[in-house]
Structure 1
Amino acid sequence: MNDIALAVLAGMLATVNPCGFAMLPAYLALVARDSPARAFMSGLVMTAGFVTFFGLFGLVLTPIATTLKRYLPFVTVVIGLAMLAIGVLLLLGKELYLRLPKLQAAPKSLWSMYGYGIAFAIASLSCAIGPFLVLIGASLQEGLPAFLAYALGMGLVVTALAVAGSLLAPRVRKLLPHVGRIGGVVLVVMGAYVTYYGVYELRLFLANGSAQDPVVQAAGGFQSTLAQIVAALGPWPFIVVLVVVSVLWLNRRRRKAVRPDRR
């Protein structure tokens, strides 16, 4: 496997890294009611937030990365608690604006998805920054193709899942009135885990606690299975999903545009 293909695969695996993978289903719950076109843009913007933070961290903060990473679990705990809060409010049927930093529950802006990508990157930093820096190299000029390939790999997974989910949502119309509350359940569960994982990292980094934890180990086993599936699939199934969903959505738009002319 050449370096570019390896970078694409690493980007795909970044979506299910051990530290931040719990934020992926939470993200998909947030975009479940979007149109396929908006879900496509949300996936691209969320990916941009993730890789922007990683790129800046690699370029600017690498000299102090070791010290800084010790305190990032505090941020992870804050992110998890914010997800919990948003989930509870969605469960109560609220339509609100809450930002993390620019993360908001429905109704959402694309900027909120950029903020979610940054939050995803912060939560993932401990697990994913090492492979990322190895892939892009110390020089921006040498690492740019790998950086773009990494972004492509992550964007393929995130965007394909978001677009497929948004297209399938109308097929289960009975659930649509409850999508907000279903998303709230997902956010509460995932937020609880992100918070727990942040506390777990704090125990490791600041209190030299034991790495043995039944909750983290169980989640780690599930995450490892997901990572193996993503690695085995490679990029092509996600590309096919994007193409098929795009064709279906364009056909549906065309039919809607033609119907008024037939009356």
Structure 2
Amino acid sequence: MLVALAAGMLAAVNPCGFALLPAYLGFLVLDDRDDGKGHEVRNAIKLTAAMTVGFAAVFGIFGLVVAPLAGSIQQHLPWFTIVLGFALAGCGGWLLAGRALPTIKLPTGKGPITRSPASMVAFGASYAVASIGCTIGPFLAIVVGSFRANDPLEGVALYLAYAAGMGITVGVAAVSVALARQGIVSKLRNAGRLIPRLAGALMVAVGAYVAYYGRYELRGATRDPIIDTVDDLQRTLANALERIGAPTIAVALVAVVAAAAVLTRRRRQKERAEGT
């Protein structure tokens, strides 16, 4: 279980899909509202859960159904990576131009949000497809191998542990960003569309790199200065996560969420005190 948890944790920062993590975090800062009620942190948790569902679903389907055809399918995955990169860059360019991404209404009718759980499930699935080339080996060995050779319930437990490892890693980053943006947004509120434009610039850079990485995979090249530089960063982060361990990351997630709850409560108390 711990090995599966650690493998899922490292899957969140794999070389193939590593650049998609900052793109996801960029989505979390697009909403320029800051009502002091902690909706940023709650949204980060909900959207991270939705993203994890999409990520884990692709790996489950690929591992159990498509694995026998993995060789013929995997050689075409770089094309998906290229298309995904151009799509992200296009969304980033749209934001840089001062336009907003499509919105949906909250079920309560209280206002629009710029992301939805369904879109994050799709993003998580895209993250997984882009990551399969670098992560499917450990997943097949740890999860699918056990599922086929032993008790299916054990395979399900390992699968859930793998998904949880990915989710807690992304969750710590997402909740931390959401918590930080509560103060950042209030300071930049008069800057108009600065935050969406910054997120757009990040998405353009990420999309360009993801497309470039897909092209790199198609070339089959062994050395590339851009890829090598990002790989060094990815390897440093992966090694740090491995040293820290999954239990510590899980505790960190709980601590960050607890800190967000305390800060939100203090802000409400301060607002009530000022109102009286």
After TM superposition, the score normalised by the length of structure 1 is 0.87
Q: CA deviation at 1:255?
A: 4.8
C-alpha contact (below 8 Å) 1:43/1:159 kept by paired residues: yes
Give, in whole Å, the separation in 2 of the partners of 1:185 and 1:237.
33
Which residue is equivalent to 1:102?
none
Identity of aligned residues (%): 39
Partner deviation per Cα, 1:166-216 (whole Å, 9 max, x = no partner): 011122233454221111111111111100011111122xxxxx3222221
Which residue is equivalent to 2:176?
164
Q: Structure 1 residues 260 and 15, CA, compared in 2 at 3 Å: closer, same or farther?
A: same
Larger mean Cα displacement after TM superposition, 87-96 or 51-60: 87-96
SS at match of 1:146: helix
Give the alignment partner of residue 244 of structure 1, picking from 252, 255, 262.
255
Q: CA deviation at 1:248?
A: 3.0
Partner deviation per Cα, 1:51-106 (whole Å, 9 max, x = no partner): 100100111101111000011111110000000001111112211239xxxxxxx7
Q: CA deviation at 1:44?
A: 1.0
| Match runs of 1:191-210 below 5 Å | 191-204=207-220, 210=221
Larger mean Cα displacement after TM superposition, 241-250 or 164-173: 241-250
Which residue is equivalent to 1:47?
52
Give, in whole Å, the separation in 1 of the partners of 2:4 and 2:247.
15
Q: How many residues align?
A: 248
Q: CA deviation at 1:244?
A: 2.4
Give, in whole Å, the separation in 1 of the partners of 2:77 and 2:102.
25
| Match runs of 1:1-263 below 5 Å | 4-32=1-29, 33=31, 35-97=40-102, 107-138=114-145, 139=147, 141=152, 142-172=154-184, 173-175=186-188, 177=191, 178-204=194-220, 210-255=221-266, 260=272, 263=276
Give, in whole Å, the separation in 2 of the partners of 1:211 and 1:253.
49
Q: CA deviation at 1:240?
A: 2.9
Partner deviation per Cα, 1:104-162 (whole Å, 9 max, x = no partner): xx711111111110010011011011111111033261421211111111110111111
C-alpha contact (below 8 Å) 2:4/2:158 kept by paired residues: yes
Supply the AA of the counterpart residue of 2:52. T
SS at match of 2:101: coil
Larger mean Cα displacement after TM superposition, 66-75 or 215-224: 215-224
Supply the AA of the counterpart residue of 2:161. A
C-alpha contact (below 8 Å) 1:87/1:186 kept by paired residues: yes
Unaligned 5+ runs, structure 2? 32-38, 104-112
RMSD value over aligned CA atoms?
2.0
Larger mean Cα displacement after TM superposition, 163-172 or 16-25: 163-172
Supply the AA of the counterpart residue of 2:47. S
C-alpha contact (below 8 Å) 1:164/1:241 kept by paired residues: no
Give, in whole Å, the separation in 2 of the partners of 1:190 and 1:12.
21
Give, in whole Å, the separation in 1 of the partners of 2:118 and 2:226.
33
C-alpha contact (below 8 Å) 2:63/2:144 kept by paired residues: no
Give, in whole Å, the separation in 1 of the partners of 2:219 and 2:230.
17
Supply the AA of the counterpart residue of 1:246. V
Larger mean Cα displacement after TM superposition, 175-184 or 49-58: 175-184
Give, in whole Å, the separation in 1 of the partners of 2:121 and 2:166.
14
Give, in whole Å, the separation in 2 of the partners of 1:184 and 1:237.
33
Supply the AA of the counterpart residue of 2:89. L
Give, in whole Å, the separation in 2 of the partners of 1:54 and 1:198.
19
Q: CA deviation at 1:252?
A: 4.4
After TM superposition, the score normalised by the length of structure 2 is 0.83
Give, in whole Å, the separation in 2 of the partners of 1:145 and 1:211.
37
C-alpha contact (below 8 Å) 1:42/1:159 kept by paired residues: no
Give, in whole Å, the separation in 2 of the partners of 1:230 and 1:79.
27
